[in-house]
Amino acid sequence: MPRTTTLECSGCPPLRALTFDSIGLIKVLEVPDKQRGVPQVVERWGDPESSKCVMAVSMIDRNSQPLLAVARKNNEIEVLSPVNGDIQTTISDASGLDVSSEENNIVGLHLFEKQNTELDSRYCTLLTCTTKGNASIRSIELADSSTESSCTDSPKTWNVCSGGNILCCKVDRHENFALFGGKGVELNIWDINNLTKIWNSKPPPKDNLGIFTPTWFTSAAFLMKDDHRKFVAGTNSHQVRLYDISAQRRPVLSFDFRETPIKALAEDIDGHSVYVGNGSGDMASFDIRTGKMLGGFSGKCSGSIKSIVRHPELPIIASCGLDCYLRLWDTKTRQLLSAVFLKQHVMHVLFDSKFDIKGVDSSLPSKGKTQTEILSEEVEELPLKRKKSSRNKEHTEDGSERKKKSKHSKERKKSEGRDGGEKIGSRDERRKSKLKKKDSRSIPEL
């Protein structure tokens, strides 16, 4: 069973998250209670096997017929239900190459929501991209069993790079454009409908010392939902770069974050904030318009961060990595809400925002406030409290008794000091009287 850390955490509002680890397990964590709590592992899907390490994930998050796609290290893709974990279909040899080829793993995966709603519910459309840049789009028939499935039509395939390795792949909100980049591969954007490249980045010039930084992109994210022209990318040289394809090919803004490679990026729903995680476990939020750091997240992780995800409704962000922890943070105060130890290296995390919160009142929120705003206010207003143990109570009681005793001892000392002063005064008076008597005897009578 997973254990929780001993950090002071205020708890999380009701939510549901899915984690994917290095041995192929999918773990479901929930906070179903009305009050704040700690996420608990309620389900575990799959069998532990190193060859089934999860390389990429994608989910259609909706109320009816949600879908989850998982790309594994052995180049197999599983399409399953995120509600109960039932496998709808399994695609072997998804890269179109040798299954045993570990140098050409699937690093990019996307489930198309738009195409899936237009077509029959028995089909889904997948975009995949391998390390060597082999991209494909295919339509797959879903089934109720875990049997292998074949494409319903010939897949559309193309190559997004002539050399290097692809490390990041992202699709915009409207699912019309795809972004690719990696080691030795400049960022490039493709029109998915026509399979044509519309933009390619240009490396920054040499610095003042004449040093050229080699191209090595590790992560990327589109900045706005309605605009595919602006996106953010992280590099192996611990740089965060902002690109605008309508302005120029080189980055519009770039800044450094600590001294280790950027490993994960996530955009905020406001459209101008980004969350950055690096290889040494540091996390921070930035205003991408100015490059100014808004603040770091308290509670340093002990391993490299592999994934950062922002909840689409609640003010919560999740991070996971090689320290085997899933951490949930408050986006406004940047305080740790909860941390759960999951025993294996966690490679990816996703939020199920359509999770049916059990035990929560179904009454409507107050006028002028939405359910999200109410939960966000709860995150801010609840203070951190720690229950006092019985030992602490005994100590406090003993302390009060000791204080009382010390007061009595002080009063006794004062009284003794007064008594001592009176005794000393009486002794002086006796001496003076004796001296007067002696003086009177020594004086002769006239």
Judged by DSSP in three states, 118 sits in helix
Question: 421 with 350, same domain?
Answer: no
Supply the range of the domain harboring residue 441.
Answer: 395-446
Amino acid, single-letter form, for residue 336: L
Q: Contact 133/117 with Cβ under 8 angstroms? A: no
Question: 102 with 191, same domain?
Answer: yes
Lowest mean pLDDT among 170-174, 213-217, 295-299: 295-299
In this prediction, residue 431 carries a pLDDT of 63
In this prediction, residue 54 carries a pLDDT of 96
Q: Please state, in angstroms and rounded to a whole number, the distance separating the CA atoms of residues 333 and 359.
A: 27
Virtual torsion, Cα 396, 399, 405, 408, nearest 10 deg: -80
Question: 260 with 362, same domain?
Answer: yes
Q: Indicate whether 394 pLDDT > 80.
A: no
In percent, the amount of the chain with pLDDT more than 90 equals 59
Structure tokens at 37: 């709590």
* Exposed e or buried b per residue across 138-159, where buried means at least 16 C-beta atoms within 10 angstroms of its C-beta: bbbebeeeeeebeeeeebeeee
Q: How far apart are the first and last CA of the chain?
A: 113
**pLDDT tier for residue 155 given thresholds of 50, 70 and 90:** confident
Question: 427 with 356, same domain?
Answer: no
β-strand pairing of 54-60 with 15-21:
unpaired
In this prediction, residue 20 carries a pLDDT of 98
Q: Residues 276-297: what's their mean pLDDT?
A: 95
Question: 376 with 401, same domain?
Answer: no
Question: 275 with 352, same domain?
Answer: yes
Q: Residues 140-154: what's their mean pLDDT?
A: 64
pLDDT in tens, 166-175: 999 999 999 9
Higher per-residue confidence, 401 vs 306:
306
In this prediction, residue 102 carries a pLDDT of 64
Mean pLDDT of the chain: 80
Q: Indicate whether 401 pLDDT > 60.
A: no
Question: 377 with 399, same domain?
Answer: no
Does 2 map to a domain? no
**pLDDT tier for residue 38 given thresholds of 50, 70 and 90:** confident
Instruction: Enumerate the H helices of 288-387 as residue ranges.
Output: 371-381
Higher per-residue confidence, 225 vs 266:
266
Q: Please state, in angstroms and rounded to a whole number, the distance separating the CA atoms of residues 129 and 114.
A: 19
How many independent structural domains does the chain possess?
2
Lowest mean pLDDT among 119-133, 250-264, 312-326, 338-352: 119-133
The CATH number of whichever domain residue 133 belongs to comes to 2.130.10.10
pLDDT in tens, 337-389: 999 999 999 999 999 998 765 544 333 333 333 333 333 333 333 333 344 44
Question: 352 with 278, same domain?
Answer: yes
Q: Please tell me the number of Cα atoms within 13 Å of 245 on its side-chain side.
A: 19
Question: 305 with 404, same domain?
Answer: no
